[in-house]
Amino acid sequence: MAESLGIGLLGLGVVGRGVLEALQGNAQAYEVRCGRRLEVRAAAVRNVAARSGLASAGLSISDDPMAIATRDDVDVVVELMGGEEPAADCIEAALSAGKSVVTANKEVMAKRGPALLDVAERGGGELRYEASVGGGIPIIGVLQRDLQANDVSSVRAIINGTTNFMITAMSRDGMDYADALAEAQRLGYAEADPTNDVDGIDAAYKLAILASLAFHARVAPDDVYREGIRSLAARDFGHARDLGYAIRMLATARRASLGLDVRVHPTLVSTEDPMAGVEGVLNAVAVSGDLIGSVVLEGPGAGAGATSSAVVADILEIAGRLASGQPPRRPRPLDTSPQFALLADIGVRTYLRLEVPDRAGVLAELGAAFAAEGVSIASVLQVPHPERSLSADLIVTTHACSDGAVDRVLAGLKRSSSEIELGVRLRIEDGCDDL
């Protein structure tokens, strides 16, 4: 009989139960694939009584994740609790004890990943985190292994299923923000407190991880510029469509001449762009490199099946490595102080929905404000305001200019007596660069 590998699960929620069921239900097949018998020996949960039915011979359940992370008979710790604490401390304790760890925790990996990878190297174990970004999309492994011969120039991604579901509902079904959020919550795609999703925090964690891998540089969540989707209205999707664009919550990391440009915000992308066709809770990641050109990976970004698939794959790789006596895979060294480009210095095109009084002279005032900052207007469309009879919406797009110049235009309008109010501001992605 093959030597067994002891596994400890920290968390038995939707994903944790999916991992447990996969490991138990496919035990024989997995043993053949990796050369080790995989035994889930312990699991930690918040409420032991609620999960007592999952206990079985050889599997104990407790409410002490640290105890399981450091148990002598646990070789691989699988962290699926979420949140920074106590997850990060449990991961560090397990790695310090020489164990290997598999995690789906994007917050921990974004904030403390490099430090924990150092702990893994010193302890002789391995830290794997494929499930932390993109669910079932194998993007971490692609960046670590398959594209390592490439000089990556950019990563573009839709990496939050909640916001993509809401954006799809607003675009396809004409829902407003509140109704789209309520529907996402009803279907279980959004939490009762949706802040991390709708304000771009979750996507910023994931982009920090992807950018760190793509550019071999330390990119922290605070280095990522982010805006959420709360200001979007259903009519913005119609206006964008009339201009030949779709709106997507796009996470972008790229090399610009002024440094790394790393940001998450709603973006107008061409309807011909592959990202425009990514709908519902699907995720997609596009990577551009000097040798491969561009490659796009698309698939389910969340859910028990997709995330469990990535977690179990990491477990099998660790088990196979241990069975063959191979040393752990070590990450490439990181640039710990990369240069970041300020968004104000980046050249972009911009979409503005401005609410204006329906009177003569407004366009002249608007044109003067743009001209004062050297911002060239590409198009203007005036449409009736959907709720105010004495107001109109002006849909303005600009030619490429620094994002800071648009900041100054909007600040000037706010200070003036023009009564022009900003409804929403969105960047248009069409290959502009820093100016």
Question: Per-residue confidence at 135, pLDDT binned at 50, 70, 90?
Answer: confident
Tokens standing for residue 201: 């925090």
Average pLDDT over residues 225-229: 97
pLDDT in tens, 247-288: 999 999 999 999 999 999 999 999 999 999 999 999 999 999
pLDDT at 367 over 60: yes
Q: Nearest 5°: phi and psi at 282?
A: -70, 150
Work out the percent of the chain whose per-residue pLDDT is above 70: 98
Listed residue (154, 181, 152) closest to 166, CA to CA: 181
Q: Whose structure tokens read 């959004």?
A: 190
- Return the active site residues: 206
Tokens standing for residue 85: 């604490």
Per-residue model confidence (pLDDT) at position 293: 94
pTM (2 decimals)? Answer: 0.94
Per-residue model confidence (pLDDT) at position 336: 87
- Domain topology for 143-299: Dihydrodipicolinate Reductase; domain 2 (3.30.360)
Amino acid letter, 422 = L
Tokens standing for residue 218: 């330390």
Listed residue (88, 100, 106) closest to 8, CA to CA: 100
pLDDT in tens, 185-220: 999 899 999 999 999 999 999 999 999 999 999 999
Question: Per-residue confidence at 1, pLDDT binned at 50, 70, 90?
Answer: very low
Report the interhelical angle of 14-25 vs 27-34 (nearest 10°). 80
Average pLDDT over residues 392-414: 94
Listed residue (147, 113, 111) closest to 128, CA to CA: 113
Average pLDDT over residues 412-426: 88
Average pLDDT over residues 334-339: 90
Are 4-135+304-324 and 143-299 the same fold in CATH? no
How do 4-10 and 37-44 pair as beta strands? parallel
Listed residue (304, 310, 301) closest to 282, CA to CA: 301
pLDDT at 356 over 90: no
CATH 3.90.1150.10, applies to 343-428: no
Q: Nearest 5°: phi and psi at 294?
A: -130, 135
Question: Per-residue confidence at 2, pLDDT binned at 50, 70, 90?
Answer: low
Could you check whether the bond before residue 86 is cis, i.e. omega within 30 degrees of 0? Answer: yes
Q: For 4-135+304-324, CATH number?
A: 3.40.50.720
Q: What residue segments make up the domains of the chain, in order of their start? A: 4-135+304-324, 143-299, 343-428
How do 259-270 and 225-226 pair as beta strands? parallel
Average pLDDT over residues 44-48: 89
Per-residue model confidence (pLDDT) at position 434: 52
With a CB cutoff of 8 Å and minimum separation 6, the contacts of 26 are none
How do 100-103 and 76-79 pair as beta strands? parallel
Per-residue model confidence (pLDDT) at position 160: 95
- Residue 353 CA to residue 115 CA, distance in Å, equals 43
- Residue 36 CA to residue 48 CA, distance in Å, equals 29
Question: Per-residue confidence at 245, pLDDT binned at 50, 70, 90?
Answer: very high
Q: Which residues pair with 225 in a beta bridge?
A: 263
- Residue 313 CA to residue 331 CA, distance in Å, equals 18
